[in-house]
Amino acid sequence: MPGYLLHFRILTGEIKMWLCPLCGEGLNSNSAPWRCSNGHSFDMSRRGYVNLLPVHKKASKAPGDNKSMISARRCFHANCGFAPLMDRIAQLAVSLAPEGDVMLYDAGCGEGAYLAFVREAMVSTRRSVKAAGSDISKVAIDFAAKQVTAAQFVVASSFDLPVASDTADIILQIFAPGDDTELCRILRNDGTVIHVAPGENHLLSLKQVAYDIPRPHALPPDRRNGLKLLSRERLQFTLELVSVEHAMALINMTPFTWRFSEAQKQSLAQELNEAEGDFVISVWKKADK
């Protein structure tokens, strides 16, 4: 089947985008609960997302980021903490997406701020965008589904995505783990993965407080299974922390949250007016077979 036809059929619901995590069959997601032809069913939560992470595939009771980290990230993004990064990702996504219908997927979407921003940017170019995201953290997906009602969300691992092959035009993978082969599988042949990782000096001054010997972040790999690197750029800017609450949000949304006591965090946040933002943005395509 030609690519455009396949794509059209996914968007019109004929081919099922979501897969049953128990048997791999397509899920009928047109009505709740979502069901596969083998009788497995998945309830829709009050917020409209579906949990596609079976208990036996969970490594812990509540995997992924916890509520405190997710609400800190929400507060940080609400104060436009990473605005230049969001702008650049959106610019890239818009320039790389096909005209017309676009399937945008955020793997490890957290509370959904990037998916919402990139979707808006794409919609403003008159494309018809189907946006979806997944995260292993149920609380993250709960936040995302509440905030970003124009997108569909599921709880799932990026190492075992319940998503049909050849589905996504643009995949966002932003500070989130994932399996190359899985991302490659759900990517359309001419699709793109936009990957963001911390650059070597990201939040260096916080690191200097937290560690005796602060080590720079390692560069992300320039080889990935099944993918080829199209471009890589470094984006650096100063994070302006507009209030103590904003500074606290930055501390609490990162692993620094585990390094300090509440009192230490409070006094650090009082002092912290800015921090180093340093990011590596890599664009990947499917490698030729």
Ligand X SMILES: C[S@@+](CC[C@H](N)C(=O)[O-])C[C@H]1O[C@@H](n2cnc3c(N)ncnc32)[C@H](O)[C@@H]1O
Site for ligand X in 91-130 (CB under 6 A): 108-110, 113-114
Q: How many residues in the shown chain lie near Zn ion by CB under 5 A?
A: 7
In the complex, what is the shortest distance from the CB of residue 23 to Zn ion, in angstroms, rounded to a whole number?
Answer: 3
Q: What string marks each residue from 175 to 204 as x (binds ligand X by CB under 6 A) or -?
A: xxx---------------------------
Q: How many residues in the shown chain lie near ligand X by CB under 6 A?
A: 19
Comparison of 109 and 184: residue with beta carbon closer to ligand X: 109
Comparison of 23 and 150: residue with beta carbon closer to Zn ion: 23
Which regions of the chain does DSSP assign to beta strands (E)?
34-35, 41-42, 50-51, 101-107, 128-135, 151-155, 168-174, 187-198, 227-240, 274-286
The partner in contact with residue 110, picked from ligand X, Zn ion, none with C-beta cut-offs of 5 to 8 angstroms by kind, is: ligand X
Q: Quick one: CA torsion of 91, 96, 102, 107, rounded to 10 degrees?
A: -80
Amino acid found at 160: D
Q: Are the C-beta atoms of residues 118 and 97 closer than 8 Å to each other? A: no
The partner in contact with residue 40, picked from ligand X, Zn ion, none with C-beta cut-offs of 5 to 8 angstroms by kind, is: Zn ion
In the complex, what is the shortest distance from the CB of residue 167 to Zn ion, in angstroms, rounded to a whole number?
Answer: 18
**Could you say which of 50, 116, 145, 174 contacts ligand X (CB under 6 A)?**
174
Site for Zn ion in 16-75 (CB under 5 A): 20, 22-23, 25, 36, 38, 40
Q: What angle do CA 249, 208, 276 make, to 5 degrees?
A: 55
Amino acid found at 191: G
**Could you say which of 64, 81, 191, 198 contacts ligand X (CB under 6 A)?**
64
Contact window for ligand X (CB under 6 A) among 23-31, 37-45, 162-170, 174-182: 174-182
In the complex, what is the shortest distance from the CB of residue 157 to ligand X, in angstroms, rounded to a whole number?
Answer: 4
Reply yes or no: is the peptide bond before residue 33 cis, omega within 30 of 0: yes
* Per-residue burial over 99-124, b = 16 or more CB atoms within 10 Å of its CB, e = otherwise: eebbbbbbbbbbbbbbbbbbbebbee
Q: Which residue has the tokens 């965090």?
A: 265
Cα-based distances in Å from 232 to 45, 75, 174, 211: 39, 29, 14, 29
The partner in contact with residue 8, picked from Zn ion, ligand X, none with C-beta cut-offs of 5 to 8 angstroms by kind, is: none
Q: What string marks each residue from 3 to 22 as x (binds Zn ion by CB under 5 A) or -?
A: -----------------x-x
Comparison of 118 and 176: residue with beta carbon closer to ligand X: 176
Query: Helix, strand, coil % (nearest 5) of the chain?
Result: 35, 25, 40
The partner in contact with residue 277, picked from Zn ion, ligand X, none with C-beta cut-offs of 5 to 8 angstroms by kind, is: none
In the complex, what is the shortest distance from the CB of residue 27 to Zn ion, in angstroms, rounded to a whole number?
Answer: 8
- Rounded to whole angstroms, how far apart are CA atoms 191 and 16? 19
In the complex, what is the shortest distance from the CB of residue 22 to Zn ion, in angstroms, rounded to a whole number?
Answer: 5
The answer to whether residue 140 forms part of the interface with ligand X (CB under 6 A) is yes
Provide the sign of the torsion angle of the four alpha carbons 183, 64, 52, 143, taken in this order: negative
**Which spans of this chain sit near Zn ion (rule: CB under 5 A)?**
20, 22-23, 25, 36, 38, 40
**Which spans of this chain sit near ligand X (rule: CB under 6 A)?**
64-65, 73, 108-110, 113-114, 135-137, 140, 157-159, 174-177
